[in-house]
Each structure stands twice: as C-alpha cells, then as structure tokens.
Amino acid sequence: MFTGTTPLHLITAVTQALADPAPILRDPRRIPGWARDRMTVHTQHIPSTDVAFALERRISALAERHHRATGIAAAPPGPARRRTR
C-alpha cells in the first residue's frame, strides 16, 4: 500500500517490477496452494556451475555498489561554531 508520503522512486520501481513480463523465479514448494490455481509453474534444473557463477557475479556487484557508496569523501569540516549569547 502506498501513501501520500511514499517516495515516487519507490512507486516507480514497484510499478515497473509489476509490469515486467519476465517470469519470476520461485521455489514451487513455497507457493501457496490458492496461488497455484491462478498461475503456471515450470521447474527447470540448473547446473551448479551456473548458480556459482551467478552468485559470484551478484557478490561482485554488491561489493562494487558498497565501494561506490562508501568511496564518497565526506565534506571537510568547516570552522568550529562558536557559542553566541
């Protein structure tokens, strides 16, 4: 549920994700029974090497994102503020 205070970039991201026609990867055992009646479930076996490669790629992307976020230098401290009466 969105409210009037929900940031627009979050609303945009959720809307784009909902409109994406790409299939969603889910574990079929975790899909509730009432939902299975309303969808098509296909299972596919994936080689472990593909999974390991995807995991390494995801970790690298997260590390790079963290590095960029922490690599921004803080503003230098300004002159000390003095107390006034």
28-39 pLDDT, tens digit each: 788 888 887 888
SS3 75: coil
Angstrom distances, CA of residue 57 to CA of 17, 26, 50, 51: 21, 20, 11, 10
Average pLDDT, the chain: 80
**Residue 1: is its pLDDT beyond 80?**
yes
Give the pLDDT of residue 75: 60
Query: Can you spell out the DSSP letters for 23-43?
Result: PPP--GGGS-HHHHTTS----
pLDDT at 59 over 70: yes
